[in-house]
Amino acid sequence: MKSASISGDVAATGAARAARNDDDDSSTGTQPGLVGEARDDLHRFAKNHENDPNLPAEKMHAVRDALARNDTKEMAETDALLCENSPYEEVRAAVRNTDGGEVANTVRAWILGMVFVTLGAGLNMFLSMRNPAIAFQAIIIQLLVYPIGCFWARVVPMRKFSVLGVEWTFNTGPFTIKEHTVITLMANVTFGYAYSTDALLALQGKPFYDRNLGWGFSLLFTLSSQLIGISFAGVFRRFLVWPAAMLWPAQFSSTTLFYALHDRGSSDATANASGWQMSRYSWFCVAGLGMFLYYWFPAVIFQGLAVFSFPTWIKPDNVVVNQLFGGYSGLSLLPITFDWTYVTAYLANPLLAPTLSHVNTLIGLFCFILLPIMGITYTGALWSKYLPLVTSQVYDNTQNAYQVNKILGPGFTFDEKGYKGYSPLFLTPALALNYGLSFAALMSTLVHTGLNHGKEIWHRFRSSRNQEPDVHLKLMKKYEEAPDWWYMALFLVSLALGLITVLAFDSQLPWWAFFVSLLLALVFMIPSSMILAVSNIVISLNVLSAFLAGFIIPGRPIGVMIFKVFSVITLGQAQTYSGDLKLGHYMKIPPKVTFWCQVIPTIWAVFVQIAVMNWTLGNIENACDNRQKDHFTCPNGRAFFSSSIVWGVIGPQRMFGVGGMYSHFNWFWLGGAALPVIFYLLVHKAGIKFFRYFNAPIMFGSMAWLPPATPLSFSSWAIIGLIFNKWIHNRWNGWWSTYNYITASALDAGLILSTVVIFFAITFPGVPVPQWWGNVAVQNTRDATFTAILKTVPKNGTFGPETW
């Protein structure tokens, strides 16, 4: 049974009032000024949500009917209903439409937040240099800090102090939900280790470039690259945070967990939860503990559960079977996994994403990955019969991993003679498509946003905080907004630090290329963040930045790395900070507090991470070497080094330029621009409203991680998402509204805690897993060993073109 929706209330109200005349309305005492305001609100709502795929059609019909009938009472009541709660069921299920007015900016929150930022940022930096790596997620801090905060509230004296006329205390009373949110915001923006450290490891590591430009360079480079994106997010918050349509679904697991922890009684379970009476807190504990215990099976006891490709177990040496049904290097046409890490590894938790994302991801996977890979492979195009189907590894013409050292001259320059005598670079079908789809995703993002949201963006630019009715924006208006000049000042300071980085050191990056890298991020800031805000799908510059840098500064591999960092992480930080601003918006954190609890921890985390990185390089013997005894092999730095050689030394011109082996993939630029236009024309010119749910940026952009991801992760993600957010949502709507997002939090928390325990108990000390069929034989397939290849090169033979 579905719960009553706002649209139902609005529609019913409209039907009941339709026959009434204006005299009846005036008799009720409706004020003309309020009616005019309601009419303006509804006009803004209709204009801004015209192409909103997450807004159910009946809600828009109710608004348009009220405006068309011009019934003053109906308009006033419709406007009131929209102002009382969010028009989106997902938001209503995860966020309360009230503000308790609790204290947020306390000494306690800052002490706990900065302690956990120091520990988390340092540990994540240290462990990221090991293979396999492990990362502590912010949800761990969200869980750990709650009992610590409550204990603090019980034992620390409430004595008040006064410094320069400012009164403060270590204990303001009970640990509040807003303090909890402030600490989580600090963790969110700092727990992902700074992206620039990957480039610094490639630069300083002895097996790589072995060039140390000093602490000054490391700090300036990292500070500037981390802070510029934060300033961008603040400047564009009127487009990405304030509008109700910018849902930011990733925040729903955090908001529901806050409420579950701070309201642990059964009263937080609503009466219509499809017969369930368990509190969200109790359900979180049960589901989280269940996942913690369960994950030991696919991770340790029966690893075959992770990639349950049973056809390959039956025919382990059949190449075609392994190509079609394999989950490691194959297409996973029977996508079965019992490992939550495979489901959530690349597109995050499927329970958080809307159905729009699940459907478009499946369409993109089928149309742009599975069918093209089969077509490329079984026709033999691009020498694909000599290569695996799905892997990010690049190959030479002997079917071995490409050895970049064979094409390098003195000073990491390109050795033309060595290249001619060695081999061209071969991409697997999935990797080649990954580059093409990345081109298409970025072009489609620009075109889609321009066609469907161009007028809305211009309207929001002019209206500032005078947006359409939204209860959360209304509640936030009582707090003073962080001034725009704060964000502009932060931008100018971080811009100056970036210029010093590229001009005062041997960075190989000209000043004009530095500005191009920032301009690239700026161009995609609003379009990509809007896609992320409505779909939970990340559109990244990871491919385009290196591709473009290879064209504009050829032969400068270090410059290519630095260009890539500035463009990728500027956009990435802007997206992260925009999401955090929305979390603060939902939890009613004063904007000025949100600003400082993001900027100060970010600056501090930079110093922590650079110190940890330099200590590790200087004190762990043979750090970054492939044979390092404790596995501190710097996998991310190694990948950055190889990428810089491919794009900065070999260069995109030889692969994607005129006459290059992969030049045809440049057609993806045109395809990415054309598909949103086709969908737009089908909806707005042909009148086929069904196509309003087709989203080209999601179809292309959701494939950005494939490879290193495999189709198994994407298909299982979409299927599980549809089970929860379509089937369960429609059949047991009460249960979904009450428990869906807390289930997402519980599964992620249980998985992360279990992963950490397994890492330190088994992986780190090298304890062997049980050696039985379920852990051994399932790995002895052509799919798992990446040897599902149609043709094998004879001994001392090669494949590919005769000249290159």
Q: Tell me how long the chain is.
A: 804
Q: Is residue 19 scored above 60 in pLDDT?
A: no
> Distance between CA atoms of 791 and 799, rounded to whole angstroms?
10
AA identity, residue 750: G
Task: With cut-offs at 50, 70 and 90, classify the pLDDT of residue 17.
Answer: very low
Q: What is the pLDDT of residue 52?
A: 80
- Res. 265: pLDDT tops 80: no
Per-residue confidence band for 31, with pLDDT thresholds at 50, 70 and 90: low
pLDDT digits (tens, 9 = 90+) for 607-654: 999 999 999 998 988 888 888 888 888 888 888 888 888 888 888 988
Q: Which of 528, 522, 544, 360 shows the shortest CA–CA distance to 449?
A: 528
What's the pLDDT at 664? 93
Least confident of 283-287, 457-461, 585-589, 722-726: 457-461
Band of pLDDT at residue 670, cut at 50, 70 and 90: very high
Distance of CA 350 to the CA centre of its chain: 12
For residues 395 and 660, what is the distance between their CA atoms, to the nearest angstrom? 16
Burial of 148 (0-12, 13-18, 19+ CB in 10 A): middle
pLDDT of residue 267: 52
Which pair of structure tokens corresponds to residue 180? 């909890």
The arithmetic mean of pLDDT across residues 521-531, rounded, is 94
pLDDT at 464: 58
Tens digits of per-residue pLDDT, 167-184? 889 999 999 999 999 999
User: In the predicted model, is pLDDT for residue 69 greater than 90?
Assistant: no
Among 468, 547, 496, 488, CA closest to 47: 468
β-strand partners of 168: 161
Indicate if the pLDDT at residue 5 is higher than 50.
Answer: no
Alpha carbon distance 718, 728 (integer Å)? 14
Q: Which of 300, 99, 266, 278 is nearest to 763 (CA)?
A: 300
pLDDT given for residue 803 in this prediction: 86
Averaged pLDDT for residues 24-34: 49
Q: How many CB atoms lie within 10 A of CB 12?
A: 12
Q: pLDDT over 90 for what percent of the chain?
A: 63
Structure tokens at 475: 């509640």
pTM over 0.75: yes
Least confident of 84-88, 303-307, 352-356, 668-672: 84-88
How much is the pLDDT for 395? 92
Quick check: 727 pLDDT over 70? yes
pLDDT over 80 at 264, yes or no: no
Distance (Å) of CA 770 to CA 298, 756, 775, 776: 12, 19, 7, 9
Question: Taking Cα atoms as reference points, which of 577, 619, 583, 568 lies closest to residue 599?
Answer: 577
**431 or 461: which leads in pLDDT:** 431
CB 218 within 8 A of CB 243: no
Each residue of 389-420: b (16+ CB within 10 Å) or e? bbbebbbbbbbeebebeebbeeebebbeeebe
